[in-house]
Chain A
Amino acid sequence: MKILIVGAGPAGVTVAETLRQHDDRVEITMLSGEPTPPYSPPAMLEYFTTGREVHLWRGRDFAERLGITYRAGTTVVAVEPAQHTVRLEGGETLGYDRLVLATGGRLYTPIAGEEKPGIYNFKSLTAAEELLGRVRSGAARSALIVGAGFIGVEIALLLADLGLEVTQLVRSRVMRSMLDPETSQIVLGMIEARGVRVLQDDAADAVAFVGDARAEAVQMRSGDVVSADLLVAATGLKPNVAYLHGSGIETKWGVLVDDHLRTNVADVYAAGDVAETFDRFTGERYVHAIFPNAVAQGRIVAYNLLGWDTAYEGADNMNSLKHLGLPLMAVGRMTGEELRVQRGAELRKLYLEDNRIVGFRLVGDVSAAGIFRSLMNRRADVGPLRHRLLDPKFGMGTVIPYTAQ
């Protein structure tokens, strides 16, 4: 059987590895749009700050070790499910028995002038190398970052550490979709303490990138124009689905998949940031583009390709911020009853609905996070434990005698 994997991100790599782990004869071809061996996006920042090649998480010998055909720098322009082929840039066609779409996402910038050259981003290694190249060559001394999500904040901290004068545009509040206002405020204080200048509200309502040939500044709704040597967009992610246009494969925001991660077209699967799956907790359809979801989906696709009927449990809504100086974790929703405790720099917030944990936010100390998440995913009734949940000694010692009853 010939399996063609389009994309060499965490999802694609996991599909290939899992297939090879259980079947040493299946023929695997992997196409990567990047010129490098497979890399791990969450590890890119570390690579740029320390030079450690931790981002090449499966090694430079990935393809030889697994015995797969790896084609770097290859772009798919069309999928033709009726012929079971894909068309590559340059006109070549490749046949497949099963196709896995793992093409990830690209920058999404709903701001006028976003097509102009001179806007940098951190969505791929190539894009990040370009950005860092400008910094290292000394061409950029100041940076303006549009967007204050997890990635926006991490880039701001990275560039500030590299000695740039960094301005960050925060339209409403830092990491609005994942953090509650109080935690958001703590993060804001920490990035300001690290030397990042933050523009907020009206002063940060970017409507257009301006400049003649290249984007050189950002214009706000108020008419203000803010310029910097380096413009960085961290405004969101959009699944790479343009090449599927006309293929008959159903897409909405991302590629629509069922609970076995199959698309509506036979023999075509999708995994990772390109796939529009469902939340394991709420069932809500979305693309939650984080590494653990991509890997989990890759594994499910591989199992189904191997003929083991395996359903996907659903995507996790969670994230953590590494370079803040204090650990920060955000998992699940922020609705229902709020349990809160503050001890010095440590803040813990648990969200309960009907005595069941539906989400939590931890700053400063992340101990017991895994237990909270496990109780949440199991929808365990934590009523009898609720007065102990925020106890500094809450842990397995508390949970084990309770669950053993």
Chain B
Amino acid sequence: MKTVFVNPERCVGCMQCQVACAVEHSQSKNLYQAVFEVPKPRPRIYVAPGLYLNTSFPNKCRHCDPAPCMEVCPTGAITRNADLDIVVIDGNKCITCAMCAMVCPFDVIRYYESATVKLDKTVAVKCDHCIDRQRQGKVPACVEVCKVNALVFGDPNEIAKSAAGRLAKLVSVATGAIHPELPRLPATFEAWRKWGEESGKVNER
């Protein structure tokens, strides 16, 4: 199942994901019109400054499984979309009890008026992994707009694999540059190979 992978080391804190998110969850889905909408569209991803200078962290819903917010919702307003593995809030069922925010260890649930909820009151709102875009085969808006690949959309196993590959390549290039003699095979390798060939012959006979 695909998810948005966050790489905080790459984030430069430009906040374009916040803008893209707010626009995607506006009524017009257009930046220039969204600015004038009531209620004002707001982002569901939050770029926060990091602990050290020049670091930042784009914080969003992890769509946990099991999801603590879903487990404590007293009206069943929070459910999981099984097809896309997305935890979604139905604001029309929300009673703003704030239990979900109390148990969310990632602090990604906010309360405000949302255009999709016709109740005229604040309700719990969080990232829906751009479920509408995903149904159209598009990647989430925050990922599309991210210029530094701090947000990547894909299968977590595939992403981890490609990261491991990148690391291996970097390490081998780096060690090669420091010790040019290393890539040559050490004498012990030659000996082992010879022994392998000889024992192979024994087995083949």
User: A: which residues have CB within 8 A of B?
Assistant: 10, 40-43, 45-46, 50, 52, 54-55, 57-58, 291-292, 295-296, 299, 318, 320, 322, 327, 329, 331, 366-371, 373-374, 388, 393, 395-398, 400-402
Name which of A46, A58, A368, A393 has the most chain B CB atoms within 10 A of its CB. A46
A368 touches B99 (CB 8 A): no
Q: How far is the CA of A388 from the CA of B95 in the complex (A)?
A: 32
Q: Which residues of B contact A401 (CB under 8 A)?
A: 8, 50-52, 55, 57
Q: How far is the CA of A401 from the CA of B50 in the complex (A)?
A: 7
B50 touches A395 (CB 8 A): no
Instruction: Other than A43-B95, A57-B76, A327-B98, give 16 A-B pairs with Cβ distance below 8 A.
Output: A45-B95, A46-B95, A292-B71, A320-B99, A331-B102, A367-B110, A368-B107, A369-B98, A370-B103, A370-B106, A395-B107, A397-B48, A397-B49, A397-B56, A398-B48, A401-B50
Q: Which residues of A contact B16 (CB under 8 A)?
A: none
B98 touches A396 (CB 8 A): no
B107 touches A322 (CB 8 A): no
> Is B195 in contact with chain A by the CB < 8 A criterion?
no
Instruction: Say how far B102's CB is from chain A's closest CB, in angstroms.
Output: 5
Q: How far is the CA of A124 from the CA of B74 in the complex (A)?
A: 15
A400 touches B8 (CB 8 A): yes
Please, what's the 1-or-0 string for B39-61, where 1 marks a CB less than 8 Å from any CB in chain A? 00000001111111001110100
Q: Which residues of B contact A327 (CB under 8 A)?
A: 98, 111
Interface of B is mostly: loop
B74 touches A42 (CB 8 A): yes
Instruction: Say how far A347's CB is from chain B's closest CB, in angstroms.
Output: 16
Known: A320-B97, A400-B57, A402-B51. A374 touches B74 (CB 8 A): no
Q: How far is the CA of A41 from the CA of B97 in the complex (A)?
A: 12
Q: Which residues of A contact B95 (CB under 8 A)?
A: 42-43, 45-46, 54, 322
> Is B115 in contact with chain A by the CB < 8 A criterion?
no
> Is B75 in contact with chain A by the CB < 8 A criterion?
yes
Q: Which residues of A contact B59 (CB under 8 A)?
A: 395-397
Which listed residue (A295, A370, A393) contacts B105, Cβ 8 A? A370
> Is B93 in contact with chain A by the CB < 8 A criterion?
yes
Q: Which residues of B contact A367 (CB under 8 A)?
A: 107, 110
Known: A58-B76, A295-B72. A395 touches B102 (CB 8 A): no
Please, what's the 1-or-0 string for B65-97, where 1 marks a CB less than 8 Å from any CB in chain A? 000000110111100000000000000010111
A295 touches B71 (CB 8 A): yes
> Is B101 in contact with chain A by the CB < 8 A criterion?
yes
Task: Name the residue of chain B whose CB is nearest to the CB of A398.
Answer: B51
A55 touches B75 (CB 8 A): yes
Known: A57-B74, A295-B72, A370-B103. A395 touches B46 (CB 8 A): yes
Q: How far is the CA of A318 from the CA of B95 in the complex (A)?
A: 18
> Is B35 in contact with chain A by the CB < 8 A criterion?
no
B98 touches A320 (CB 8 A): yes
Q: How far is the CA of A194 from the CA of B101 in the complex (A)?
A: 26
Instruction: Say how far A154's CB is from chain B's closest CB, in angstroms.
Output: 11
> Is B130 in contact with chain A by the CB < 8 A criterion?
no
A373 touches B46 (CB 8 A): no
Q: Which residues of B contact A40 (CB under 8 A)?
A: 74-76
Q: List 30 A-B contacts (CB under 8 A).
A: A10-B74, A41-B74, A42-B74, A42-B99, A50-B119, A57-B74, A58-B76, A320-B98, A322-B98, A327-B98, A329-B98, A329-B102, A331-B102, A366-B102, A367-B110, A369-B98, A369-B107, A370-B102, A371-B106, A374-B105, A393-B48, A396-B57, A396-B59, A396-B106, A397-B49, A397-B50, A397-B56, A398-B50, A400-B8, A400-B50
> Is B104 in contact with chain A by the CB < 8 A criterion?
yes
Q: Which residues of A contact B74 (CB under 8 A)?
A: 10, 40-43, 57, 291
Instruction: Say how far B103's CB is from chain A's closest CB, in angstroms.
Output: 6
Instruction: Say how far A369's CB is from chain B's closest CB, in angstroms.
Output: 5
Task: Name the residue of chain A whose CB is nearest to the CB of B106.
Answer: A396
Q: Which residues of A contact B77 (CB under 8 A)?
A: 54
Instruction: Say how far A17's CB is from chain B's closest CB, in angstroms.
Output: 10
A373 touches B102 (CB 8 A): yes
Q: How far is the CA of A296 from the CA of B107 in the complex (A)?
A: 20
Q: Which residues of B contact A54 (CB under 8 A)?
A: 75, 77, 93, 95
Instruction: Say how far B120's CB is from chain A's closest CB, in angstroms.
Output: 10
Q: Which residues of A contact B56 (CB under 8 A)?
A: 397
Instruction: Say how far A359's CB is from chain B's closest CB, in angstroms.
Output: 13
Q: How far is the CA of A401 from the CA of B56 in the complex (A)?
A: 10
B103 touches A373 (CB 8 A): yes
A397 touches B98 (CB 8 A): no
B107 touches A371 (CB 8 A): yes
Q: Which residues of B contact A373 (CB under 8 A)?
A: 102-103, 105
Instruction: Say how far B80's CB is from chain A's closest CB, in angstroms.
Output: 12
Name which of B8, B49, B56, B97 has the most chain A CB atoms within 10 A of its CB. B97
Known: A54-B95, A320-B98, A322-B98. A396 touches B71 (CB 8 A): no
Q: Which residues of A contact B106 (CB under 8 A)?
A: 370-371, 396
Instruction: Say how far B137's CB is from chain A's closest CB, in angstroms.
Output: 30
State the 6 A-B residue pairs at the shortest beta-carbon distance, nearest first: A397-B48, A374-B105, A397-B57, A370-B104, A42-B74, A292-B72
A320 touches B71 (CB 8 A): no
Q: How far is the CA of A401 from the CA of B94 in the complex (A)?
A: 33
B101 touches A366 (CB 8 A): yes
Instruction: Say how far A20's CB is from chain B's closest CB, in angstroms.
Output: 15
Q: Which residues of B contact A50 (CB under 8 A)?
A: 119
Q: Which residues of B contact A366 (CB under 8 A)?
A: 98, 101-102, 111
